Every structure is written in structure tokens, then in C-alpha cells.
Amino acid sequence: MIRNPAVADRFYPGDAEHLRSAMDIFVPVTTAEEKEQAMVVIMPHAGYVYSGATAGATISRVVVPETVLIMGPNHRGQGAALALGTEDWRMPMGMVPINQQLARAILRQSEDIREDSEAHHHEHSLEVQVPFLQQVQPQLQIVPLMVSHVSYTLCQKVAADLAAVLQAYRNPVLIVASTDMSHYETRKQAAQKDQLAIERILALDPEGLYATVHRNRISMCGVIPTTIALLVALQLGAKQARMVHYTDSGEASGDVSQVVGYAGLIVS
């Protein structure tokens, strides 16, 4: 079975040539000396006209290995709460295979993560990341994990399982946590709320991030995958996080009365 694109020609160009041209614009060319070894990259997943520059600036700053574990929120609520896809992906810029070895190891390790491709078929939060990854890593393989809202305790359990698998795996793996920030607030309100969440990410404080987002009602759709990604990174020895770029949809639309926030961060 093959997963076909769900949001091509909506969130991003569905034509390969046009998509490559967009990637050439959004992803700056950087030298090897300018790239850093990262454990986690946090990137937005909106339509490229809104968040493409933030995503591109972020991914251009890191070394992207052949295997990327992408975690994102399940906006539609379909399928398992922690759904791992095992179908190869057909994308405009070429086929993207699943790293079956790593995917099967995760499924063996975790009693909470389920093999569930159905949850992925109509979801955009992972799909929009793939062309950025293809742009910088032609041999890309992915492990796509869709995450619904779960407790912090379960985040800890899942992160421990993922960290155990990644520690045993002999090759480098980058984790991409896919999230947008505040939704449909004024620019001022969104910036204030998003800063609270970003401060917790920069402090490498996953429990604080989880609590801050819930306590302040921050509509950060990917708080759960971001929390899990931070927990994994800490178990693997992460020491720092930094922000590459923050913006909102008003930069493209001109409407600052109801914006969506976008942040790009690197954890290493």
C-alpha cells in the first residue's frame, strides 16, 4: 500500500517542478560549517505562503540524516491515539519510503503506539514537512507518528520507549516535531501566549510546556508531539534549544486581528 498526498495543491504546490522552485526559495542554501547536529527540530505546518519561510529557515540550519522521525498532531481525530504509519509515501518530489527497521522496532518496544496508516491518510501536519526534508536529504526515509491529545504521564512513557529504540539504533535519526502556535488570536495576544510556550521549550522543560499551554489555553496544536520530542531529547542528552524564527500569518495576509503563530526551533 502507498500513502498518496492529501493536501498537495492546497498547502503546497502539487506539481513537482513548482514545488522544487518553492523549496529553492524557502530553504536557504547553507554550507556544512553552518549546519549543526540536532536531535529535534520544531517546525510549523501551515500552508507554505504562511509558514514556509520559517520551516525552510529552520531545516536549513541542521544536518538532516537519511532517517527522520516526524511527529505531529492528529487534527481529524481518526485512528489510534498514537498512530505509526507503515505505508511508503508518494510525494510530488518522489517516493519517500518508511524506515521499516526503525518503525518495527518502535512497535515492538511500545505497547501504546499502534500501527495505523488510516490515521495518516487525510492529515497534513506531517505531510507538509516532507518536501523540506527531501530538499536537503535526497535519500530521505521517514517514520511518521501521529499523536492525539494524551496525558503527560503517557508522554513520558512513550518518550522513554522512543529513546530506548533510538539509543539501540546504530544510525543517526532526526526528530521533527510539527506544530503551529496560537490560533486565531490578535497578533499581540498570540505573541504573548506563544512566548510563554517558547520560553519552556528554550528551557528544555517539557513538563512546563505541557502545563503552560494548558493553564494559559494556548492553542498550540502540536504541544503533545513537541512535549514527547523534548522528553526524548533530554533522555538522549540534549543540552540546549534555540529559536531560529518566529512569525505569524499576518505577515502574509496583512490581517493581524486573527493570526496563527509559527515558530522554528532547534534542540541539540
Residues 152-209: pLDDT tens digits? 999 999 999 999 999 999 899 999 999 999 999 999 999 999 999 999 999 999 999 9
The predicted model gives 223-252 an average pLDDT of 98
Q: What is the number of other CB atoms lying within 10 angstroms of the CB of residue 24? A: 12
pLDDT, position 233 = 98
CA 40 – CA 93 distance, rounded (Å): 24
For Cα atoms 104, 105, 110, give the angle at the middle one, nearest 5 degrees.
100
**Domain 2-267: CATH architecture, name and number where available:** 3-Layer(aba) Sandwich (3.40)
CA 9 – CA 22 distance, rounded (Å): 12
Residues 104-130: pLDDT tens digits? 999 999 999 999 988 998 899 999 999
Q: What are the residue ranges spanned by the domains of the chain?
A: 2-267
pLDDT greater than 90 at residue 151: yes
pLDDT greater than 90 at residue 77: no
Q: What is the 3-state secondary structure (H, E, C) of 156-221?
A: HHHHHHHHHHHHHCCCCEEEEEECCCCEEECHHHHHHHHHHHHHHHHCCCHHHHHHHHHHCCCCCC
> pTM of the full predicted structure?
0.96
Q: φ, ψ for residue 64 (rounded to 5)?
A: -105, 110
Residues 177-189: pLDDT tens digits? 999 999 999 999 9
Q: Which three cell numbers stand for residue 202?
A: 528554550
Tell me the H-state helices in 77-141: 100-109, 130-136
